[in-house]
Every structure is written in C-alpha cells, then in structure tokens.
Amino acid sequence: MAASVLALAVALLLGASSRVDHGAAAAPVSEEGLQVTYGSTVKLMHEKTKVRLHSHDVAYGSGSGQQSVTGFPEIDDSNSYWIVRPTLDSSAKQGEAIETGSIIRLQHMRTRRWLHSHLHASPLSGNLEVSCFGGDGQSDTGDYWRLEIEGKDKVWKRDQKVRLRHVDTGGYLHSHNKKYNRLGGGQQEVCGVRDKRAENIWSTAEGVYLPVDERK
C-alpha cells in the first residue's frame, strides 16, 4: 500500500497523465480510452465553463459551515485532485472499472474530506449546498454519488461526459458562472440541482489513472 501511495504522489508531482501500477514505476501510455478505475486520482472538468472541481481548507460562511467546494479555472492547481473510491459497503477493489449506475465517493486528495451534499442552501444561488466533509475514518451516505454516463458507453473513461447525482438529495453536481467575491482566482459556485441541465455535465481530465485490474 505504501509503495502504491508513493507512486501516485510522485506521478502527480510530475504532472503525469499516465497509468500507475501497484508498486511499479509510472510508464506513459496513450491517454485515449483510459478507464477511470477505483483508486484513480483525477480532476473533474465542468463541460460548460471548463473549471475544475476544487476544494481547500476554507469553510463556507453560511449554510453548513463545512469545507467549501468551488469551480477553479486554473488547470495546474493541486487542490483540484479527487480520489475515486467505492462506497463503504462495496466489495469493489482498487483498479476495478466503474460502470454507469455505480455509486461512488470522491475524496479530496489534499484535505482527505469527501465530496458531500445535503439540504443546506448553496451560498450564491440557493440550490443544494455541495461541501467537503468527514475524513479517512468518517464517511456516510451524504458522500454517495451515482454515476450517469452520457451516451451508449457503459464503462467510465477519461474525457467521457458524465453526470454525478447525489444519492440522498437527488441533486446533480452542478456549476455555473456565479462567482465568489471573497475567493480569489475567479472561483465559481458548485452546487446541486435536481433537474438535468447542460450545466451538470462533467468529464475527467488531468490525473493518474490506475490500470484496470483484470483479476477476479
């Protein structure tokens, strides 16, 4: 496990978009067709505005007061990496492919908190608040998101258009051009909305994509 974590950290520092095997050195491969597997560390890009899903240790000044989640326009910010994890009761293993309809969790790499939502109102639009909450030993169903792949493909791949629907609230992960005044860098609101819109489509971009583990 320690070797795997080290390999991931080194690859991220080098800005790699390569496959990383367990305990092995990263080897560059073609990015086309890379699958998003459990354990992959990725950035999620908002299709409409091209910001990356982002968080850092700054709390909301309203609502839940939990760690804020925003859309960040800079590509090379390390606070925009998320680790794709299975749910607490899942038997899925690291390196397994993820099919449409799967329920996943996204763990913020830097702060170790989980992408979370609930019925608190989001600060700018009054939609469902999206936050980061918990940690390595603290997670609940408020961290569960159902993957919905656009189109006919059944397995999640890099650059594929997807929606993430929050299990508890039914809200889709959403962003728009509403900007925060108190946060620098042109950060915009990320929230949840219950209806399908063009503004709740995302795709995976930069990251470390673990190879598919074919062993069963």
In a domain, 112, yes or no: yes
CA 50-95-210 angle, 5° bins:
50
pLDDT, residue 4, reads: 47
In a domain, 119, yes or no: yes
In a domain, 17, yes or no: no
Could you give the number of structural domains in the chain? Answer: 1
In a domain, 3, yes or no: no
pLDDT, residue 216, reads: 58
The range of the structural domain enclosing residue 193 comes to 35-208
pLDDT, residue 22, reads: 30
Q: How far, rounded to the nearest angstrom, does the alpha carbon of residue 147 sit from its chain's CA centroid?
A: 11
Q: Taking residues 189-198, report their average pLDDT.
A: 97
**CA separation, residue 108 to residues 24, 40, 43, 138, 209 (Å):** 24, 12, 10, 13, 16
In a domain, 76, yes or no: yes
pLDDT digits (tens, 9 = 90+) for 141-174: 999 999 999 999 999 999 999 999 999 999 999 9
Q: How far apart are CA 3 and CA 22, in angstroms?
A: 7
Compute, in degrees rounded to 10, the torsion defined by CA atoms 15, 17, 21, 27.
Answer: -90
Q: What is the mean pLDDT of the chain?
A: 87
pLDDT, residue 186, reads: 84
In a domain, 43, yes or no: yes
pLDDT digits (tens, 9 = 90+) for 74-111: 999 999 999 999 999 999 999 999 999 999 999 999 99
The CATH number covering residue 195 comes to 2.80.10.50
In a domain, 216, yes or no: no
pTM: 0.86
pLDDT digits (tens, 9 = 90+) for 6-27: 344 434 433 433 333 333 333 3
In a domain, 9, yes or no: no
Lowest mean pLDDT among 48-62, 146-160, 171-185: 171-185
